[in-house]
């Protein structure tokens, strides 16, 4: 029996021997790869169909996102109401999400109901018809939502900083207008759907309490579909960053708060600096105990929160600092961000702070290994970025062994104020 009068031993996370659970892989008859994580004690299941159907592949703005959103809104045999009612009847949740390079359909359900649910998902992938009335409703709702969001300084800042870093015509840099919604046509959605869903490039991820017949059921409903039959050509886009580095936009003359974004181009996960820079980023502004939080939130009181992160893009990416601050202290906030960059360039991180951040990062990794859904999410990240499990072990090893001098060199290389785009929206 546990003696609660004795303090438990405290062990640093850096001493943990972290292991990544192996992910089972197989193919359906049409070569669709399936990655499966059979774990957990509850009779719940997650299946995600990931398509190369993101913004990267659209020829006209917002076609990819609209197609993905309206997948649930009607087939030749079912209305949007009937589709949603079917999933709700079985206590299931079907979501769809569009990203820059990929788009997904995600099903959460009880393991015992897959026989009733998988046929309808297959129907959505092969027979969505995008009814005109559903498109009209979507256009009206999105324009109204956009009208509301355009009054928010943080929304404007998020749109514009990506444009400055990547260029407006780059998939990462473009954003929507009411004209984009007005110009959408049903034929465009059907064309995109046929190419990138019905005959598209698909990868399936599944996790939870896997039923013994799941592989055969997936093969039954998806193994004969014309998916994965041809490679989707990778479209090249040139980054055309803004010429000016500093931007100020007045969005609300009477506003009391401003949004600050500071960002620079940065390599993706395949670059040798990427994993080590994650350590530097956490010290700088990547968690609640970071330097930016300690200075700008705790000491100066300029903001409720400030964060630094490296965008999770498959292609080129960016290092971003993001916060909302009082209108009168936005300029001072930016100055403090650059001061923290200067300190990291000029002074090596002390061992206590470095140890704290390493333990935080490894503790976060440990939490991400707890449960089948978290595990398959990590594997999905690796698979879609053309990485393998060795990336995980390299990352853990670098967190444990990277020293202060290495981080100081990275700070000198990347934390240069003149290479950052700066935007203030008030």
Quote the DSSP letter at residue 116. Answer: H
Question: What does the pLDDT average to over 234-240?
Answer: 80
Would the pLDDT of 75 be above 70?
yes
Whole-number pLDDT of residue 231? 67
- Which band of pLDDT confidence, cut at 50, 70 and 90, is reported for residue 240? confident
* DSSP calls for 137-167: HHHHHHHHHHHHHTT-HHHHHHHHHHHHHH-
Lowest average pLDDT, out of 12-21, 190-199, 414-423, goes to 12-21
Question: What does the pLDDT average to over 11-23?
Answer: 81
Closest of 64, 63, 67, 112 to residue 92, by C-alpha: 112
Asked if 167 and 17 count as a contact pair (C-beta separation under 8 A), the reply is: no
Token readout for 239 is 């980054």
Question: What does the pLDDT average to over 181-199?
Answer: 96
Please give the radius of gyration of the chain, using alpha carbons only, rounded to the nearest integer.
24
Q: Which domains does the chain have, with CATH numbers?
A: 24-222 (3.30.830.10), 246-425 (3.30.830.10)
> The tokens 């998988």 sit on which residue?
118
Token readout for 151 is 């009054």
Closest of 353, 24, 314 to residue 172, by C-alpha: 314
Between CA 380 and CA 421 the distance in angstroms is: 31
Question: What does the pLDDT average to over 333-338?
Answer: 98
Question: What does the pLDDT average to over 44-61?
Answer: 95
Token readout for 371 is 């449960």
Whole-number pLDDT of residue 44? 96
Whole-number pLDDT of residue 233? 66
pLDDT digits (tens, 9 = 90+) for 258-317: 999 999 999 999 999 999 999 999 999 999 999 999 999 999 999 999 999 999 899 889
User: Other C-beta atoms within 10 Å of 81: how many?
Assistant: 10
Interhelix angle 214-222/114-127, rounded to 10 degrees, is 20
First to last CA, the chain: 60
Which residues have CB under 8 Å from 238's CB, separation 6+? 167, 170
Lowest average pLDDT, out of 136-145, 234-243, 360-369, 378-387, goes to 234-243
Quote the DSSP letter at residue 252. Answer: -
Q: Is 345 exposed, middle or buried (0-12, 13-18, 19+ CB in 10 A)?
A: middle
Q: What is the pTM of this model?
A: 0.92
SS3 label, residue 102: coil
Closest of 378, 46, 377 to residue 211, by C-alpha: 46
Asked if 384 and 309 count as a contact pair (C-beta separation under 8 A), the reply is: no
Which residues have CB under 8 Å from 70's CB, separation 6+? 128, 130, 134, 135, 138, 189
Half-sphere exposure of 394 (CA within 13 A, CB side): 15
Whole-number pLDDT of residue 310? 96
Token readout for 362 is 């490894």
Would the pLDDT of 331 be above 70?
yes
Whole-number pLDDT of residue 80? 96
- Which band of pLDDT confidence, cut at 50, 70 and 90, is reported for residue 81? very high
Between CA 263 and CA 326 the distance in angstroms is: 20
Token readout for 311 is 């965008």
Token readout for 183 is 């110009």
Between CA 103 and CA 247 the distance in angstroms is: 32
Closest of 216, 196, 218 to residue 205, by C-alpha: 218
Between CA 273 and CA 269 the distance in angstroms is: 9
Mean pLDDT, rounded, of the chain: 94
> The tokens 């998806």 sit on which residue?
222
Asked if 74 and 80 count as a contact pair (C-beta separation under 8 A), the reply is: yes
pLDDT digits (tens, 9 = 90+) for 122-170: 999 999 999 999 999 999 999 999 999 999 999 999 999 999 999 999 9
Question: What does the pLDDT average to over 173-182?
Answer: 94
Asked if 56 and 101 count as a contact pair (C-beta separation under 8 A), the reply is: yes
* DSSP calls for 274-313: HHHHHHHHIIIIISTTSHHIIIIIIIS--EEEEEEEE---
Give me the percent of the chain exceeding a pLDDT of 90.
Answer: 87
Which residues have CB under 8 Å from 348's CB, separation 6+? 404, 405, 407, 408
User: Other C-beta atoms within 10 Å of 25: how many?
Assistant: 11
Between CA 138 and CA 229 the distance in angstroms is: 32
Whole-number pLDDT of residue 229? 67
The pair phi, psi for residue 267, each rounded to 5°, is -70, 165
């Amino acid at each position: 029996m546990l003696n609660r009068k004795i303090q438990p031993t405290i062990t640093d996370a850096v001493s943990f021997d972290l292991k990544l659970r192996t992910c089972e892989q197989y193919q359906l008859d049409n070569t669709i790869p399936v990655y499966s994580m059979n774990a957990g004690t509850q009779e719940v299941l997650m299946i995600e169909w990931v398509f190369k159907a993101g913004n990267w592949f659209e020829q006209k703005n917002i076609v990819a996102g609209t197609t993905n959103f309206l997948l649930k809104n009607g087939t030749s045999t079912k209305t949007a109401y009937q589709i949603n009612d079917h999933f709700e009847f079985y206590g299931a949740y079907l979501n769809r999400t569009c990203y820059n390079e990929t788009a997904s359909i995600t099903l959460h359900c009880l393991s015992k109901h897959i026989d009733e649910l998988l046929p309808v998902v297959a129907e959505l992938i092969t027979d969505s018809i995008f009814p005109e009335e559903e498109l009209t409703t979507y256009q009206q709702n999105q324009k109204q939502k956009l009208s509301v969001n355009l009054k928010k300084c943080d929304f404007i800042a998020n749109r514009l900083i990506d444009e400055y870093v990547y260029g407006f015509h780059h998939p990462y840099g473009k954003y929507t207008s009411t004209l984009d919604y007005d110009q959408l046509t049903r034929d465009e959605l059907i064309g995109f759907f046929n190419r990138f869903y019905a005959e598209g490039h698909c990868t399936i991820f599944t996790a939870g309490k896997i039923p013994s017949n799941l592989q055969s059921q997936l093969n039954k409903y998806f193994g004969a579909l014309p998916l994965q039959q041809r490679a989707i050509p990778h479209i090249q886009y040139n980054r055309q960053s803004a010429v000016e580095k500093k931007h100020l936009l007045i969005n609300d003359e009477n506003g009391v708060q401003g949004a600050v974004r500071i960002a620079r181009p940065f390599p993706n996960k395949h670059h040798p600096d990427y994993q080590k820079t994650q350590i530097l980023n956490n010290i700088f502004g990547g968690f609640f105990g970071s330097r930016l939080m300690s200075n700008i939130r705790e000491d100066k009181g300029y903001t409720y929160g400030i964060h630094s992160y490296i965008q999770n893009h498959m292609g080129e990416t960016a290092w971003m600092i993001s916060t909302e601050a009082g209108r009168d202290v936005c300029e001072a906030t930016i100055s403090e961000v650059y001061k923290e960059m200067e300190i990291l360039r000029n002074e090596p991180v002390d061992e206590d702070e470095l140890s704290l951040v390493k333990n935080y990062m490894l503790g976060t990794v440990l939490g991400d290994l707890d449960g089948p859904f978290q595990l398959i999410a990590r594997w999905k990240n690796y698979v879609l970025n053309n990485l393998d499990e060795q990336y995980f072990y390299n990352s853990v090893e670098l967190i444990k062994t990277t020293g202060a001098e290495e981080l100081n060199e990275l700070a000198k290389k990347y934390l240069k104020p003149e290479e950052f785009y700066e935007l203030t929206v008030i």
